[in-house]
């Protein structure tokens, strides 16, 4: 499990094919004046696709990634990519950061230097940002059963291969699903766990003891309503990911629409303008990684594995490692404290960030870095 250097290098032929496919996009119709009501706005996506074809320079973002230390490690027969950036300080604390779906390691590109080279060297981290198995620059798994439980174990072995037996962690989304399992199964490896999506943990509420509070019942009702309105992507990926993959793997416009629908709705822009939260380059760098590596199917397949190889929560499941919680503006991510205390037994840090959505790592990296530093100071 020795780490070897890794260089991001998308072939010119892949980029040329991308531009050619964008030029030949067969656009659908749209209800006049629909905006984003039915899904991704046609006008928005046409403009973005034209910029992707004629103005976007992937090599700029590839160079930014390659300015960082990238490694490849074989874990359980699968090659895993990770950014492994050493901190500038007397005793950098190792910190594992996992991305979510539909995202990639690129989401952390502005966060990493804020953690490795902070104003106070005592706050420095060694930052490790893997491409999760089946995502981006990591190898596509060729076997079924790649569950969060299995991936959590692979991440522990990745950290061990990089020289870290104990480490801190930050996660959200599917990364938080993996990290919550890691906290349950490998607690001795975790110094502390910071998350912006605390409810993405293995939870047990039936039968609920003690009984659910009014705030908890309201939150679970919110989850049901959210899933009814927003959960279509989850249902299709959990049941027919292969059917979906043919279109997403063949059409860059279709791939961008599938991904950016979530970046829009999960950012909750009050004015409907995604461009006020992320630049076109930031959005397209993330989408281009999925396109260039052909990993949208393997990334989506994790939802199928979750449903078909479920890990049943038990009343005895308790996360006992120290936890820090930072809340974004996303209502679905703002679980009541009493609900979270059912499975987090040692919440040591609680902060309402007051701004930012699901992808706060790229939207407000300075704010997230400050919260991570504040939580982990107690372990220095």
Q: Which DSSP string corresponds to 210-228?
A: SPPPHHHHHHHHHHHHHHH
Closest CA to 162 of 122, 129, 123: 129
CA distances to 234, 269, 272, 359, 364 from 278, rounded to whole Å, are 24, 11, 12, 10, 10
Q: Which of 303, 304, 339, 349 is catalytic?
A: 303
Contact of 159 with 132, CB cutoff 8 Å: no
Q: Between helices 280-293 and 252-265, what is the axis angle to 10°? A: 130
Contact of 145 with 155, CB cutoff 8 Å: no
- C-alpha 285/C-alpha 58 separation (Å) is 7
Neighbours of 135 (CB within 10 A): 29
- C-alpha 88/C-alpha 124 separation (Å) is 6
Closest CA to 157 of 189, 187, 191: 189
CA distances to 137, 176, 264, 325, 375 from 353, rounded to whole Å, are 31, 18, 19, 10, 13
Q: Which of 84, 99, 358, 364 is catalytic?
A: 358
Give the torsion through C-alpha atoms of 53, 54, 55, 58, to 10 deg.
50
- Provide the total of helices (H) and of strands (E) in the chain, helices listed first: 15, 9
Contact of 100 with 175, CB cutoff 8 Å: yes
Say whether 250 is catalytic: no
Q: Which of 173, 189, 194, 233 is catalytic?
A: 173
Say whether 193 is catalytic: no
Say whether 317 is catalytic: no
With H, G, I as helix, E, B as strand and everything else as coil, classify residue 14: helix
Q: Which residues are catalytic?
A: 173, 303, 358
């Amino acid at each position: 499990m020795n780490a070897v250097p890794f260089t991001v290098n998308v072939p010119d032929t892949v980029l040329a094919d991308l531009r050619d496919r964008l030029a030949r996009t067969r656009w659908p119709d749209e209800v006049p004046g629909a905006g984003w009501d039915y899904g991704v706005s046609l006008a928005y996506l046409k403009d973005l696709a034209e910029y992707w074809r004629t103005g976007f320079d992937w090599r700029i973002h590839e160079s930014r990634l390659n300015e960082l230390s990238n490694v490849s490690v074989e874990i359980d027969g699968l090659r895993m990519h990770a950014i492994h950036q050493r901190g500038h300080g007397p005793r950098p604390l190792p910190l594992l950061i996992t991305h979510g779906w539909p995202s990639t390691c690129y989401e952390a590109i502005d966060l990493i230097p804020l953690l490795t080279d902070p104003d106070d060297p005592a706050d420095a981290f060694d930052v490790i940002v893997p491409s999760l198995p089946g995502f981006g620059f990591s190898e596509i798994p060729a076997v079924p059963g790649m569950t969060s439980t299995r991936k959590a174990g692979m991440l522990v072995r990745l950290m061990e291969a990089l020289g870290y037996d104990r480490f801190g962690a930050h996660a959200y989304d599917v990364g938080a699903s993996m990290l919550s399992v890691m906290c349950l199964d490998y607690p001795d490896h975790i110094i502390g766990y910071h998350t912006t999506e605390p409810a993405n943990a293995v939870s047990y509420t039936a039968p609920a003891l003690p009984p659910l509070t009014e705030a908890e019942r309201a939150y679970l009702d919110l989850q049901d309503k959210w899933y009814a309105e927003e959960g279509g992507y989850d249902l299709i990926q959990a049941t027919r990911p292969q059917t979906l993959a043919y279109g997403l793997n063949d059409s860059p416009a279709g791939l961008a629409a599938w991904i950016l629908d979530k970046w829009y709705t999960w950012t909750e822009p009050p004015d409907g303008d995604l461009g006020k939260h992320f630049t076109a380059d930031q959005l397209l760098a993330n989408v281009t990684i999925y396109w260039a590596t052909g990993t949208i199917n393997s990334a989506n397949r994790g939802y199928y594995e979750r449903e078909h190889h479920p890990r049943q929560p038990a009343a005895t499941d308790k996360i006992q490692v120290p936890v820090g919680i930072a809340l974004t503006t996303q209502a679905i991510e703002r679980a009541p404290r009493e609900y979270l205390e059912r499975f987090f037994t040692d919440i040591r840090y609680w902060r309402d960030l007051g701004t930012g959505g699901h992808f706060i790592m790229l939207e407000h990296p300075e704010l997230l870095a400050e919260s991570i530093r504040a939580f982990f100071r107690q372990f220095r």
